[in-house]
């Protein structure tokens, strides 16, 4: 018996409608190329005819995995695989002609390659939807290039259409059970990227039946659970956009009535200079967090006060943005509108009262405020060190956040000349 070069692992749960097409496409590729291969269908506790249909296809072996879950099914299939390469194919997917040739050629051409993946082509959806999916893949491919070649923090694989080297799979902690469905392919790509090269190529597409899956979801009754979630998500998203539109209109009216000029005069005339103005803005953001949501503060208040502060000398835009972000985090915790309080109230046992929750968040709010103070002093230290590097004895930047106006430099030679009597005298 010849050595198995590639093992096709097909996880399946109630896939009686589509699994036959998937298996026939795989067997056709194996027959066309003549590559020694095996097909393993992992029956993930299906309640329909999935197992029976898989056994009816010649050359297919069925492995039963009673624990429900995609990660568990793939792990069981890879454990049973004997091939040097393991191809993970979804049961609703069909590999096109030439797919196996591409896989074998890439692994032969790139010695350090440990995983190869490609996109899905959704053949049963309208053309506009296919265009949207194609745009999404281009955007994801750009992210993949940055993550892989710039940040070197991982890679990208399309679950249901990827091939991995079995020896590399054995050397990592593959198929993390913490990922029940979404994200397990990205986690596997991240781990495999530490062993070798993980490549995503548009030259390795596979046909996926999104329409059939959606139809199965609608018929299964899951749509009855999804529709309230989708409706609520749409309402919340619409509310956020309404806040954005209202905040934009408010800013336009406020500026039209010269309100921004009033704010600028108020902040610039506060005692303490730049430091006093910054402290006043931070205090205002903290107090507004008690009665306003963070989104409302960002859209309504920040566009008014931020330009005034940034126009003052000695204010670093990055530092100011971090200070505001940390300050706004407190609005998620303190009453009466803190979302964290409502989350805790929803999951807390009856013996934990609302008063307990309110008292419990006090240390966390104090930690946030302590971080604001630490950021303030770090910026002062940065400006002081920056002033030393420039060789100045009294750097202007270090004075601004202290609230001290820097003294303008005076040319001593010009001053001495002005004290000397003129030739005419």
Q: Which residues contact 254 (CB under 8 A, 6 or more apart)?
A: 260, 304
Structure token digits, residue 245: 């539109």
d(CA 245, CA 251): 10
For the chain, give every domain's residue range. Answer: 6-220, 258-406
Most confident stretch, 77-81, 140-144, 146-150, 181-185: 77-81
Question: What are the C-alpha distances in Å from 311 to residues 274, 277, 308, 376?
Answer: 10, 12, 5, 18
Region of 183 (left: φ > 0; alpha: ψ -120 to 50; beta: rest) is left
176, 187 contact by CB (below 8 A):
yes
The torsion angles phi and psi of 60, rounded to 5 degrees, stand at -105, 130
Side-chain half-sphere exposure of 46, counting CA atoms within 13 A:
23
Render pLDDT for 1-49 as a digit per residue (tens, 0 to 9). Answer: 568 999 999 999 999 988 999 999 999 999 999 999 999 999 999 999 9
pLDDT of residue 4: 92
Burial class (CB in 10 A: 0-12, 13-18, 19+), 108: exposed
Structure token digits, residue 77: 């299939």
Q: Which fold has domain 6-220?
A: Spore Coat Polysaccharide Biosynthesis Protein SpsA; Chain A (3.90.550)
Pairing of strands 93-94, 197-200: unpaired
**Model confidence, pTM:** 0.52
Average pLDDT over residues 157-169: 93
Render pLDDT for 335-388 as a digit per residue (tens, 0 to 9). Answer: 777 777 777 777 788 888 888 888 888 888 888 889 889 988 888 888 778 755
């Amino acid at each position: 018996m010849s050595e198995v070069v590639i093992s096709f692992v097909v996880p399946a749960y109630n896939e009686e409608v589509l699994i036959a097409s998937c298996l026939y496409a795989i067997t056709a590729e194996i027959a066309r190329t003549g590559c020694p291969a095996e097909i393993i269908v992992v029956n993930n506790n299906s309640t329909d005819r999935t197992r029976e249909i898989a056994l009816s296809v010649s050359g297919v072996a069925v492995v039963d995995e009673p624990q429900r879950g995609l990660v568990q099914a793939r792990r069981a299939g890879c454990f049973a695989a004997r091939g040097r390469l393991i191809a993970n194919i979804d049961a609703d997917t069909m590999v096109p002609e030439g797919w196996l040739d591409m896989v074998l050629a890439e692994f032969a051409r790139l010695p350090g390659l440990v995983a190869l993946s490609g996109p899905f082509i959704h053949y049963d959806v309208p053309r506009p939807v296919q265009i949207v999916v194609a745009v999404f893949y281009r955007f994801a491919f750009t992210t993949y290039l940055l993550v892989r070649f710039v940040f070197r923090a991982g890679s990208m694989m399309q679950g249901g259409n990827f091939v991995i080297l079995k020896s590399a799979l054995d050397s990592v902690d593959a198929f993390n059970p913490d990922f029940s469905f979404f994200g397990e392919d990205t986690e596997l790509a991240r781990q495999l990227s530490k062993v070798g090269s993980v490549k995503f190529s548009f030259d390795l597409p596979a046909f996926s039946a999104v329409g059939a899956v959606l139809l199965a979801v609608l018929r299964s009754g899951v749509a009855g659970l999804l529709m309230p979630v989708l409706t609520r998500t749409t309402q919340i998203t619409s509310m956020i956009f309404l806040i954005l539109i209202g905040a934009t209109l408010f800013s336009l009216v406020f500026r039209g009535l010269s309100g921004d000029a009033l704010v600028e005069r108020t902040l610039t005339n506060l005692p303490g200079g730049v430091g006093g103005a910054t402290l006043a803005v931070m205090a205002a953001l903290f107090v507004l967090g008690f009665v306003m949501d963070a989104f409302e503060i960002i859209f309504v208040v920040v566009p008014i006060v931020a330009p005034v502060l940034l126009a003052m000398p000695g204010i670093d835009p990055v530092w100011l943005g971090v200070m505001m972000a940390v300050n706004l985090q407190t609005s998620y915790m303190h009453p009466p509108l803190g979302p964290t309080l409502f989350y805790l109230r929803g999951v807390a046992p009856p013996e934990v009262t609302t008063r307990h929750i309110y008292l419990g968040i006090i240390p966390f709010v104090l930690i946030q405020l302590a971080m604001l103070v630490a950021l303030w002093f770090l910026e002062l230290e940065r400006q002081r060190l920056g002033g030393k590097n420039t060789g100045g004895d009294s750097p202007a930047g270090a004075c601004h956040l202290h609230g001290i106006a820097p003294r303008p430099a005076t040319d001593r030679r010009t001053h001495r000349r002005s004290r000397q009597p003129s030739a005419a005298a």
